[in-house]
């Protein structure tokens, strides 16, 4: 392999002649062989968008020649189109607060610009990674800005999948509105409800999670770009400081604002904590629902058996005919991962010191993974589980009719003590509450039918009582 020699402040290093990356990227690859995972593709594109906007602003202020600007812009456009991503060789988790990622971008863009201008890669007299591509910038404002831009690029897909899930749950809530079932508290029979209300409650939390995510995303629109090293704008020209946020906004199509306090925005990363918290909350809710679906579908003969989940694969290598709730299971596993990532993000944010948080690489790696994984989990939950759920109406009704829990409705008429005795005897003898009330002559048939009307107890609207699907 042909090599070229590049130099940095540490010394010289051989780099493959045709490589778009340079000496600093090469050292980072050697130093940080951590995860085997490179930078998120959207983070790479975000870095290119920033570099493009910076080149345009610097050229307009006379600090970068038009020739260099055009070459840098073309290189950035190509990266944004998906080219040269293989040249981004640094690990997603790295020391240096993202310097390696920033320099990887600077070197790739510089070498591609040099190539565009007819030079040989590594001839930084033509276009320099630091002096030209990184002009008026620091890793400490570029990298967090790129992280926020990336969140705003990938979060909408998660929100879109949650919206599909919300719609699917709403459809099930409508379909199951007349299905009477037993409500349970602490895994014990409580009072009747409907399967529709169960799914309506799921729909409600998804709506709430969408609102939380959209609200948290607003934190990502406040940038420290122009603050450079610590927020004091050192090496940034007045023209750059004044215009860079607007140019980035135009490039990305999102209305960003420059932080009022660039020092605060450079050293504190609580905005990412807030986004992660919203994602974790959604994951927790989805896992709780997944646990419910597993319980409600348990059996089919020796469990609750109120619903049937779509059969997606054989459930056992030894037990014939067994079908497991594999989709809810994978959703819960993703939730566990998201919760772990949230803790990582929380600790990384807390561990920042003085004027800079050095741990943004692990924050971004964890946050992007949470968003991507949860997006895919929600998509498979909707398509492979929710839309195919069926209700076992007769089982649901039978469980309510035979439950001692309906004795609760007797309390206002015969008192708590007598109702409690009825419930206890029902459990001991297997007789229904209705049978015992009539047997003991506590109420007339008409009174019993009225008080123990399951449709009324379940809160089914009277307008639905005559529907064929309502038992």
State the pTM of this model: 0.92
Six-digit token pair at 39?
């930078």
Q: Are 257 and 223 in contact (CB under 8 A)?
A: yes
Q: What confidence tens digit (pLDDT) does each residue in 190-249 have?
A: 899 999 999 999 999 999 999 999 999 999 999 999 999 999 999 999 999 999 999 999
204 in catalytic set: no
What's the confidence (pLDDT) of residue 123?
97
DSSP 263-280: HHHHH--HHHHHHHHHHH
What average pLDDT is seen over the chain? 94
pLDDT at residue 320, as a whole number: 59
243 within 8 A of 53, measured Cβ to Cβ: no
In the block, residue with structure tokens 């948080």: 357
Identify the CA nearest to 168 among candidates 331, 385, 313: 385
Question: From CA 81, how far away is CA 45, in angstroms rounded?
Answer: 8
Q: What is the pLDDT of residues 121-154, one digit of tens each?
A: 999 999 999 999 999 999 999 999 999 999 999 9
Distance of CA 404 to the CA centre of its chain: 42
* Residues 6 or more apart whose Cβ sits within 8 Å of residue 170: 199, 200, 203
Q: What's the DSSP call for residue 45?
A: H
* Beta-carbon contacts of residue 376 (< 8 Å; ≥ 6 apart): 334
Strands (E), 80-187: 180-185
At 465 the pLDDT is 53
Q: Which of 138, 297, 298, 316 is catalytic?
A: 316
User: What is the pLDDT at residue 453?
Assistant: 85
Q: Which residue in 373, 272, 412, 368 sits closest to 39, CA to CA?
A: 368
Q: What is the mean pLDDT of each run of 10 residues along the chain (471 residues)?
A: 91 96 95 94 98 97 97 98 98 95 98 98 97 97 98 98 98 95 91 95 98 97 96 95 96 96 96 98 98 94 91 69 87 98 98 95 98 98 97 93 88 92 90 90 89 85 56 42
Q: What domains, with CATH codes, occur in the chain?
A: 3-135 (1.10.275.10), 143-393 (1.20.200.10), 407-463 (1.10.40.30)
Residue 315: what pLDDT? 63
Structure tokens at 337: 């991962």
Q: How many whole angstroms separate alpha carbon 438 and alpha carbon 434?
A: 6
């Amino acid at each position: 392999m042909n090599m070229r020699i590049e130099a940095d402040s540490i010394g010289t290093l051989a780099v493959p002649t045709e490589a778009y990356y340079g000496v600093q990227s090469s050292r980072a690859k050697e130093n940080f062989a951590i995860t085997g995972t490179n930078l998120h593709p959207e983070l790479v594109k975000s870095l290119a968008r920033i570099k493009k906007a910076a080149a345009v602003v610097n050229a307009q202020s006379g600090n970068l020649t038009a020739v260099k600007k055009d070459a840098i812009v073309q290189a950035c456009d190509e990266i944004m189109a998906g080219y040269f991503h293989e040249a981004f060789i640094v690990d997603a988790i790295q020391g240096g607060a993202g310097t390696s990622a920033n320099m990887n971008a600077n070197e790739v863009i510089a070498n591609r610009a040099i190539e565009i201008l007819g030079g040989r890669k590594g001839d930084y007299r033509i276009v320099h990674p630091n002096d030209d591509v990184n002009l008026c910038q620091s890793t400490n404002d570029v990298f967090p800005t790129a992280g926020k831009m990336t969140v705003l690029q990938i979060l909408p897909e998660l929100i879109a999948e949650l919206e599909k899930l919300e719609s699917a749950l709403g459809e099930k809530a409508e379909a199951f509105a007349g299905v009477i079932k037993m409500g349970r508290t602490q895994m014990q029979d409580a009072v009747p409800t409907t399967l529709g209300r169960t799914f309506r409650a799921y729909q409600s939390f998804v709506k709430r999670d969408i609102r939380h995510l959209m609200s948290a995303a607003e934190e990502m629109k406040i940038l420290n770009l122009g603050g450079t090293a610590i927020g004091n704008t050192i090496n940034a020209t007045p023209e750059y400081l004044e215009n860079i946020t607007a140019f980035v906004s135009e490039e990305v199509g999102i209305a960003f604002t420059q932080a009022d306090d660039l020092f605060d925005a450079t050293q504190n990363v609580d905005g990412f904590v807030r986004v992660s918290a919203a994602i974790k909350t959604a994951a927790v809710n989805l896992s709780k629902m997944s646990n419910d679906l597993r319980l409600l579908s348990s059996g089919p003969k020796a469990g609750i058996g109120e619903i049937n989940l779509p059969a997606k694969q054989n459930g056992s290598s030894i037990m014939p005919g067994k079908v497991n709730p594999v989709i809810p299971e994978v959703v819960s596993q993703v939730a566990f991962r998201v919760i772990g990532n949230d803790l990582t993000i929380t600790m990384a944010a807390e561990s920042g010191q003085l004027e800079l948080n050095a741990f943004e690489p692990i924050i971004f790696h964890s946050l992007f993974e949470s968003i991507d994984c949860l997006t895919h989990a929600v998509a498979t939950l909707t398509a492979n589980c929710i839309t195919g759920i069926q209700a076992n109406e007769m089982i649901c009704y039978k469980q309510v009719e035979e439950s001692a829990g309906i004795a609760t409705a007797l309390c206002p008429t015969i008192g708590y003590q007598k109702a409690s005795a009825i419930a206890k005897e029902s459990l001991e003898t297997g007789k229904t509450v209705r049978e015992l009330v009539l047997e003991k002559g506590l109420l007339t048939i008409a009174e019993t039918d009225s008080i123990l009307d399951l449709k009324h107890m379940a809160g089914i609207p009277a307008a639905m009582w005559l529907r064929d699907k309502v038992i």
